[in-house]
């Protein structure tokens, strides 16, 4: 059994073929998927999905790339987090790749999410791109270790992975680990202890080899597991079992 710890099934590209996607998940033994929020105006789409399908769960948060969107506050995030199938806060974090300074608004938004996660007692889903040092620093300043969580779609070095794990965070690998040029990330996969590892698709993006460049969906998370197993030289069922157990250990509201 597999789980997809991070996807965006509420996005229009995937909504168009949701019944087929759910069938493919079942066929590939992907039992659960976490539908991750990127902004508050579209959050009701996630609620509609998770209320309709027993094997789908959700989060609430605002992605750091969304500059012109209503800013969340701790009270709003915590109120939405009381929904029985909202199991995490995020995705949140820092992303310096597309945006230029001043980015105080982005850092302030990240702080709000960490505080909300600690108040709600839910794990945090962190997105970090071209911003690892600032991300880790803010995590320390706001005691992100108190809520724990996951560094989603991880693309950083082994050193960054270790420092995130020291702060009570799991590391989640996506289809990027299957890419030929992902040498650094593949080394992280080799070194990662299985008890701190999650797998994800980040669909509809980042389809793994052999589907690279095509529309991604949760059923393809098995290819991420297979690549990790190959890199670690262990049976794929060990990766599936460990990452599934980790998923339920982290997202404790999931039944």
Annotated binding site for a divalent metal cation: 6, 8, 91, 127, 152, 202
CA distance 12 to 245: 30
Which ranges of 53-203 does DSSP label H, i.e. alpha helix? 74-81, 104-120, 132-141, 158-166, 183-191
Q: Which residue numbers belong to the known binding site? A: 6, 8, 91, 127, 152, 202
Which ranges of 28-73 does DSSP label H, i.e. alpha helix? 43-52
Element (H, E) at 18: helix 18-27
Sheet holding 30-35, edge to edge: 2-7, 30-35, 56-60, 86-95, 124-129, 149-151, 169-173, 197-199
Is residue 228 a contact partner of residue 239, using CB atoms and an 8 Å limit? yes
Which ranges of 128-182 does DSSP label H, i.e. alpha helix? 132-141, 158-166
Is residue 25 a contact partner of residue 34, using CB atoms and an 8 Å limit? no
Strands 169-173, 149-151: pairing is parallel
């Amino acid at each position: 059994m597999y789980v997809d710890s991070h996807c965006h099934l509420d996005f229009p590209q995937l909504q168009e073929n949701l019944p087929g996607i759910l069938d493919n998940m079942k066929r590939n033994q992907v039992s659960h998927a976490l539908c991750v929020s990127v902004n508050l105006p579209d959050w009701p789409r996630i609620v509609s999905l998770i209320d309709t399908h027993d094997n789908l769960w959700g989060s609430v948060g605002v992605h750091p790339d969304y500059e012109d969107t209503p800013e969340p506050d701790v009270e709003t995030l915590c109120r939405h987090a009381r929904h029985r199938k909202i199991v995490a806060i995020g995705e949140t974090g820092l992303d310096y790749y597309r945006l230029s300074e001043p980015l105080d608004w982005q850092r302030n938004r990240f702080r709000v999410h960490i505080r909300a996660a600690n108040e709600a007692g839910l794990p945090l889903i962190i997105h970090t791109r071209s911003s690892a040092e600032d991300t880790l620093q803010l995590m320390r300043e706001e005691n992100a270790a108190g809520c724990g969580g996951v560094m989603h779609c991880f693309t950083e070095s082994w050193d960054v992975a270790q420092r995130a794990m020291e702060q009570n965070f799991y590391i989640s690998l996506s289809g990027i680990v299957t890419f030929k040029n992902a040498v650094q990330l593949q080394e992280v996969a080799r070194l990662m202890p299985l008890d701190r590892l999650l797998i994800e698709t980040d669909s509809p993006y980042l389809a793994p080899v052999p589907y690279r460049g095509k529309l991604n969906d949760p059923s393809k998370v098995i290819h991420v597991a297979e690549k990790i197993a190959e890199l670690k030289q262990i049976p794929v069922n060990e990766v599936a079992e460990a990452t599934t157990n980790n998923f339920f250990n982290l997202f404790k509201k999931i039944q």
